[in-house]
Chains A and B, each alone.
Chain A
Amino acid sequence: QSVLTQPPSVSGAPGQRVIISCSGRSSNIGTNTVNWYQHLPGAAPKALIYSNDQRPSGVPDRFSGSKSGTSASLAISGLQSEDEADYYCAGWDDSLNGDVFGTGTKVTVL
């Protein structure tokens, strides 16, 4: 049972901007940094954003992250067909003493 809540799905036309929300609590997002992962069909998950708003090398700047209080968001600008994937927020939870993942959001490019 995930402690980070995301919308099941979001969609947008090519070129549009979509935002994925991630809602947590004081023991996770409220205290610790948030990471985002992209999971393309048939592939291994990939780190997209770390420490709330940092991009690993090679990740396009179309992807951006932010955090406020006990919530975080991932924005995808200039949506492309290859962005169709599942996206997960994640981070450390002080109460559970472990990493936690969000429920996941499926992004569809119309």
Chain B
Amino acid sequence: EVHLVESGGDLVQPGRSLRLSCVASGFSFDDYAMHWVRQGPGKGLEWVSGINWDSGSVGYADSVKGRFTISRDNAKNSLFLQLSDLRPEDTGLYFCVKDSGAYHYYSGRFLDSWGPGTLVTV
């Protein structure tokens, strides 16, 4: 069974930084692309960032481009999101999400497993 556990969420001041982590288990982590998706208070789901199985390609939503950095450590079955220059609109629950395929950027794939999320408050 796929298991994703996020951590690192906190209350921070605007302009500060934060690092989110996600530890995965129950599948071959280095075979799949991974993503971060967030949900602001009273808002819908918003895709934040995705990364290929081998870190060879990454993508970001325009709202976070240049401020957030996604990375992964396949040896430790871990996904990360470095959040910088945080703004009040970045407040929300951040989900670690497993892709159905190895690449984050093609049609025909979907987000097949989600963690419970970690809360970021700016």
Contacts and interface: CB of A to CB of B under 8 A. Distances in A.
Interface residues of chain A: helix, strand, loop or mixed (majority)? strand
B14 to A, nearest CB: 21
Contact of A98 (B59, B95, B116): B59
A47 B112 contact: yes
Interface in B79-122: 95, 100, 104-112, 114-117
Contact of B111 (A31, A47, A86, A98): A47
A91 B108 CA distance: 9
Contact of B110 (A51, A96, A102, A104): A51
A98 B50 contact: yes
Contact of A47 (B60, B107, B110): B110
A99 interface: yes
B45 A39 contact: yes
B26 interface: no
Interface residues of B, number: 26
A99 B95 contact: no
A104 B45 contact: yes
B95 A45 contact: yes
B109 to A, nearest CB: 8
A44 B34 CA distance: 16
B35 interface: yes
Nearest to B43: A104
A46 B114 CA distance: 7
Given A45-B114, A50-B109, A100-B47, 9 more contacts: A44-B115, A45-B95, A47-B110, A47-B112, A50-B110, A86-B44, A92-B107, A99-B35, A101-B47
